Structure 1
Amino acid sequence: MMKTTTYIYLHGFASSPSSTKAQYLRDRFASLQINLNIPNLNQGDFSHLTLTRQLQQIETEFSPNASPVVVIGSSFGGLTAAWLAEKKFPIDRLILLAPAFNFSSEWLLKLGPEKLKQWQSEGYLSVYHYAEKQNLPLHYQFLEDLYQYPDQQLQRQIPTLIIHGIQDEVIPIQASRNYAATRPWVKLIELNSDHSLDNVLGEIWQEIQGFLEP
């Protein structure tokens, strides 16, 4: 791992920089005297979160003329990382942990037509925020914004490592299988875990180290 490289970790939806994976990886990188940047994507206003807002935040926090960048993204942070790369952000490598591909479709399936209609008419949907340990309202603009970002458009050929749990109950592993199947620059590792991947942190770190070796 090159110490002149900038390493960024993007946490997942309704999560925070203090998540188990974020803190574990920060400590692992620190053991190699490497700083892992972990921006707070909630920005103190989870209710008005959108993918566009996350992209804009990261673009302003990290100079496009910086050293080479490696981005690690978890779940919705993984989807954000993929779109950062697509927008020609100077990313050398992507590491996506249970990335939220096909996210809007998965949400619509879980919500059902009635709840979706209610969200649209009332403007907000109550969502459990794992870091805040409470339900918070999420504006319907979150879903509308997602429609601008179809996965099919993610075609930039950057070395990409995807790690996904075969028991994932939030983003089925098939989403990553489909993504990797048509992109030869993507390596998919399937682990015996759920969406959190918390029981395979050691294996994740091993895979990351192998992927980042020169």
Structure 2
Amino acid sequence: MQVVFCHGLEGSPNGTKVRAMRAAGIDVLAPDFQGQILADRVETLRDVLAKLDQHTPVLLAGSSYGGAVAAWTAMHTAHPLAGLLLLAPALHYAEAPVPAADAYVPIDVPTVIIHGTEDTIVPLSASEAYAAKSPHVVLQPVPDGHRLVGSLDQIIQTIREWRR
């Protein structure tokens, strides 16, 4: 299984979460979306997925704005997905190609959302609304803020559980 991680708006492909994954021995592919709007990020991610072996399932992960990129792309890719891991995803956000915040629809793959109860940037209610749309979505609220730096161990453990 290949982990593909979409960093947030102010993040980078070498951010805290990616470094933690790599330090834990997780092979993670993290495209560089710096300076890109949502439509460009979706296109970049589609290009990345197109280059991967079609027989290799992908755990598509994204944080904040990257969570919106991952969720939207998951809805529109033919690449086999092992799962979707959304970290404080900005699912309340609409910008082309996303027509409206309620356009994010869960897909039929196992999906875990880890969202901080102390997040002041992305409302937990957006993740709650998304999770309520599908039995495939598990919401894990954690006592943390938006960046989830206190929840890195839980993020790593969640990825490891997918890899089993």
1:103–1:171 CA contact under 8 A, matched in 2: no
**Structure 2 unmatched ranges of 5 or more:** none
Superposed CA offset, 1:116-147 (max 9, x none) = xxxxxxxxxxxxxxxxxxxxxxxxxxx4x265
Residue 7 of structure 2 is aligned to residue 11 of structure 1: yes
2:105–2:130 CA contact under 8 A, matched in 1: no
What is the one-letter code of the residue matched to 1:98? A
Q: 1:151 aligns with which of 98, 102, 105?
A: 102
Q: Tell me which residue corresponds to 1:76.
A: 65
What secondary structure is seen at the aligned counterpart in 1 of 2:145?
Answer: coil
* Structure showing the higher helix proportion among its residues: 1
- TM-score of the superposition, structure 2-length normalised? 0.88
Residue 51 of structure 2 is aligned to residue 38 of structure 1: no
Residue 74 of structure 2 is aligned to residue 85 of structure 1: yes
Q: Tell me which residue corresponds to 1:95.
A: 85
**Identical residues among aligned pairs (%):** 31
Cα distance 1:147–1:93, how it changes in 2: closer, same or farther (>3 A)? closer
Q: Tell me which residue corresponds to 1:208.
A: 159
Shift of 1:213: 4.6
**Structure 1 unmatched ranges of 5 or more:** 105-142
Q: Counterparts of 1:168 and 1:187 in 2: how far apart (Å)?
A: 18
Cα distance 1:70–1:156, how it changes in 2: closer, same or farther (>3 A)? same
What is the one-letter code of the residue matched to 2:31? P
Q: Counterparts of 1:80 and 1:89 in 2: how far apart (Å)?
A: 15
Question: What is the Cα-based RMSD across aligned positions, in Å?
Answer: 1.9
What secondary structure is seen at the aligned counterpart in 2 of 1:103?
Answer: coil
